[in-house]
Structure 1
């Protein structure tokens, strides 16, 4: 998990996105501030296993060109949130592929990488689309 977080933070930096890692109460949501090209990540999130996905999600807001600040709430409430979720899923999938991680089923992939279960259908579609990889 630490290697994935390091990868995501370096990815953000390489794309010109600044990252502030903070430790607040569990109710404090991570946020993307697109105008500042900044993501603020609460490391004390409710589900620590989901932290890499949250980081990828916030990076997604910046990379997708979203206009307004977006707080991570754990469920897509509009198209920008949905697209940020998909960005994170793809970013983590690419990381896993580069690590040559082999999974029999998409469910194994999402559990191993802390991706929320709501993303299973999307992970299954991605799995089928990229079936030429060793997943």
Structure 2
């Protein structure tokens, strides 16, 4: 996972000109955040699900490269009016993670459940994962 994090940070910083800061000082339940206006991301490396950090980083990168803007923190909830924005950020994040998953697998070895387990992707995103993996193959 460290290699994936490093590669995603380099992608954000060098290819997308996004500032990425890592903090281990936050609560294990404080979410990471992106600020599109300043093109900066803060990643909570103390997150209680360490294996989910690449998803968090990819998701926050996605908000910025998707051009998302909001006046409040963006938290996933189907009740919020920005649900589509979060869904699109999740889709872009999944697209960013797929190449890492496919690196050591043939198309016959690709498995939606395994991908989701690898990156601790929430089950409500299964259809998106299925679509994007199919598209990537």
TM-score using structure 1 length: 0.84
Gaps of 5+ in 1: none
CA contact (8 A) 1:30 1:42 kept: yes
Coordinate RMSD, CA, aligned? 2.0
Residue equivalent to 1:13? 13
Residues 1-135 of structure 1 correspond to what in structure 2 (within 5 A)?
1-14=1-14, 15-23=16-24, 24-68=26-70, 71=73, 73=75, 77=80, 78-97=83-102, 99-102=103-106, 103-131=109-137
In 2, the alpha carbon distance for the partners of 1:33 and 1:73 equals 13
In 1, the alpha carbon distance for the partners of 2:77 and 2:20 equals 22
TM-score using structure 2 length: 0.83
CA 35–3 in structure 1, closer or farther in 2 if over 3 Å, else same: same
Q: Which moved more, 1:28-37 or 1:100-109?
A: 100-109
In 2, the alpha carbon distance for the partners of 1:81 and 1:51 equals 17
In 1, the alpha carbon distance for the partners of 2:48 and 2:123 equals 15
Runs of 4+ in 1 over 6 A off after TM superposition: none
Distance apart, 1:60 and its partner CA: 0.4
Count of aligned residue pairs for this structure pair: 130
Distance apart, 1:117 and its partner CA: 2.4
Distance apart, 1:69 and its partner CA: 6.0
Distance apart, 1:64 and its partner CA: 0.5
Gaps of 5+ in 2: none
SS at match of 2:37: helix
CA contact (8 A) 1:26 1:45 kept: yes
CA contact (8 A) 1:31 1:71 kept: yes
In 2, the alpha carbon distance for the partners of 1:72 and 1:3 equals 27
